[in-house]
Amino acid sequence: MGSLLMPLLGSVAAKAGDALVAELLRAWGLAKSRWKLERHLAAVQCILLDAEARSHTNLGVRQWIKDLKSAAYQADDVIDDFFYEALRRRAAKIRHPYMACKVLSYFTVNSPVVFRFHMSWKLKDALETIDELVVEMNNFCFQQHAEAPSVVHPQTHSRVDESDIVGRQDDKEQVVKILLDHNSSNNNNVMVLPIVGMGGIGKTTLAQLVHNDRRVNHHFELVLWVCVSDKFVVEEIIRSIIEVATMKKCDLTQMEAMQKKLSEVLGNKRYLLVLDDVWNEDSQKWDDLRSLLCPDDDGSAHAGPGNAIVVTSRNNQVASIMGTVPPHQISLLNVDQSWELFCRIAFGREVEQQE
């Protein structure tokens, strides 16, 4: 049961730390409550493995985990409400009365004051429940781990149904043009193009569209996709590149053997490598990876001219460390695109046909 809770707690913590949610809670004087929620969630994650083990023989611990799960879902619902309110406010700022009215009717009550009071009360109630659980947690004297068990993030992939995507055509064209212009220059330097934007805005989707673009696949001899996520381990990334390029499992463990295999796989081919969901801010780790992927100054390395790496990240610091060209800041959807996306998610494609 505890292992099932870990992704839930991690998800709630990530939502609470979202920039849109944080901005709204700060404006409403609830920043301290958000900070307290994040601290509590971090503390709980550090003891969850021990709690899970003890729940098999201790009925009190088993009930505590059950109550924790309910409290986590309660907090998740509250944070979701804040997120939707933040989106409504952003839509209203566009100053499109029709759109603002539509979104308002779905996400809030008519009185902003009433909504604010109601949501503040819900957050306070959720926090009080978690406060009580933390007190009980301390009474159980669970064994703490040096750091919270890592949450397994879903692995992204390159497959995408373009007919399901709304409003990313212009972004795709801009990125494709940058990549093809670099190729036509016969440049031996590897270009690193970061795609940057807040969580959920569509960075991975844009990278998928670029990865599958016919023109891109015509110009590059190898088009590779690697999901990096929060663990930037050079050996694992190199192994993933080899496996994707060869479609065979790589059992090599020695770095020397892996770099030779990488050189063999890439050869003199022109490649595009997508590194999706990068969080690493350690420039040394990137330098170590770059030295294996990028040609030497004299152009004598394994890779051919015009190679490119696309990096997706929500962190501007990552873009600063890795990018060799200005990052592509992914754009927000316009009013009509936002409404179309909302209708598709909420009602399916049928509502578009009715309108």
User: Among 77-91, 104-118, 134-148, 335-349, where is mean pLDDT lowest?
Assistant: 104-118
Query: Residue 224: inside a domain, yes or no?
Result: yes
Question: Is 108 within 8 Å of 118 (Cβ atoms)?
Answer: no
Question: Is 245 within 8 Å of 265 (Cβ atoms)?
Answer: yes
Half-sphere exposure of 186 (CA within 13 A, CB side): 0
Helix (H, G, I), strand (E, B) or coil at 244: helix
Q: Which has more confidence, 284 or 2?
A: 284
d(CA 327, CA 93): 26
Instruction: Please give the pLDDT value at position 106.
Output: 47
Is the pLDDT at 32 greater than 60, yes or no?
yes
Question: Is 192 within 8 Å of 312 (Cβ atoms)?
Answer: no
d(CA 65, CA 136): 11
d(CA 246, CA 284): 28
Is the pLDDT at 350 greater than 60, yes or no?
no
Are 10 and 95 in the same domain? Answer: yes
- The pair of three-digit structure tokens given for residue 325, joined into one six-digit string: 């060209």
Are 260 and 304 in the same domain? Answer: yes
Question: Quick one: what percent of the chain has pLDDT higher than 90?
Answer: 44
Query: Residue 236: inside a domain, yes or no?
Result: yes
Please compute the mean of the pLDDT values over residues 119-128 and round it to a whole number: 92
d(CA 57, CA 24): 43
Please compute the mean of the pLDDT values over residues 293-306 and round it to a whole number: 58
Instruction: Please give the pLDDT value at position 267.
Output: 84
Write down the pTM of the prediction: 0.64
Are 134 and 167 in the same domain? Answer: no
Tell me, what CATH number does 321's domain have? Answer: 3.40.50.300
Are 215 and 104 in the same domain? Answer: no
Are 27 and 75 in the same domain? Answer: yes
Instruction: Please give the pLDDT value at position 26.
Output: 87
Q: What secondary structure letter does DSSP report for 140? A: H
Are 233 and 269 in the same domain? Answer: yes
User: Among 6-10, 39-43, 101-105, 225-229, where is mean pLDDT lowest?
Assistant: 101-105
- What are the pLDDT digits (tens) for 74-100? 999 999 888 888 777 766 665 455 554
Q: Output Rg (C-alpha) for the chain, integer angstroms.
A: 24
* Beta bridge partner(s), residue 223: 272
Type of residue found at 267: G
Residue 183 lies in domain: 162-329
**Which strand (E) or helix (H) includes residue 223?**
strand 222-229
Question: Quick one: what percent of the chain has pLDDT higher than 70?
Answer: 82
Residue 21 pLDDT grade (very low, low, confident, very high; cuts 50, 70, 90): confident
Is the pLDDT at 289 greater than 80, yes or no?
yes
- What are the pLDDT digits (tens) for 228-251? 987 899 999 999 999 999 999 999
Residue 178 pLDDT grade (very low, low, confident, very high; cuts 50, 70, 90): very high
Is the pLDDT at 27 greater than 90, yes or no?
no
Query: Residue 354: inside a domain, yes or no?
Result: no
Domain count, the chain: 2
Is the pLDDT at 31 greater than 70, yes or no?
yes
280 φ, ψ (degrees, to nearest 5) = -60, 130
Query: Residue 146: inside a domain, yes or no?
Result: no
Helix (H, G, I), strand (E, B) or coil at 91: helix
Are 132 and 169 in the same domain? Answer: no
Are 303 and 181 in the same domain? Answer: yes
Are 115 and 81 in the same domain? Answer: yes
Query: Residue 244: inside a domain, yes or no?
Result: yes
Are 178 and 126 in the same domain? Answer: no
Residues 112-123 as b/e (b if ≥16 CB within 10 A, e otherwise) read: eeebbeebbebb
Please compute the mean of the pLDDT values over residues 44-73 and round it to a whole number: 92
Residue 20 pLDDT grade (very low, low, confident, very high; cuts 50, 70, 90): confident
* Beta bridge partner(s), residue 126: none
Please compute the mean of the pLDDT values over residues 329-355 and round it to a whole number: 71
Are 119 and 169 in the same domain? Answer: no
Residues 222-242 as b/e (b if ≥16 CB within 10 A, e otherwise) read: bbbbbbbbeebebeebbbbbb
Question: Is 82 within 8 Å of 34 (Cβ atoms)?
Answer: no
Task: Name, of 115-119, 305-309, 326-330, the range with top average pLDDT.
Answer: 326-330
Query: Residue 157: inside a domain, yes or no?
Result: no
Are 223 and 113 in the same domain? Answer: no
Query: Residue 15: inside a domain, yes or no?
Result: yes
Instruction: Please give the pLDDT value at position 172.
Output: 94
Question: In terms of Cα–Cα distance, which of 215, 225, 202 is closest to 329?
Answer: 202
Query: Residue 299: inside a domain, yes or no?
Result: yes
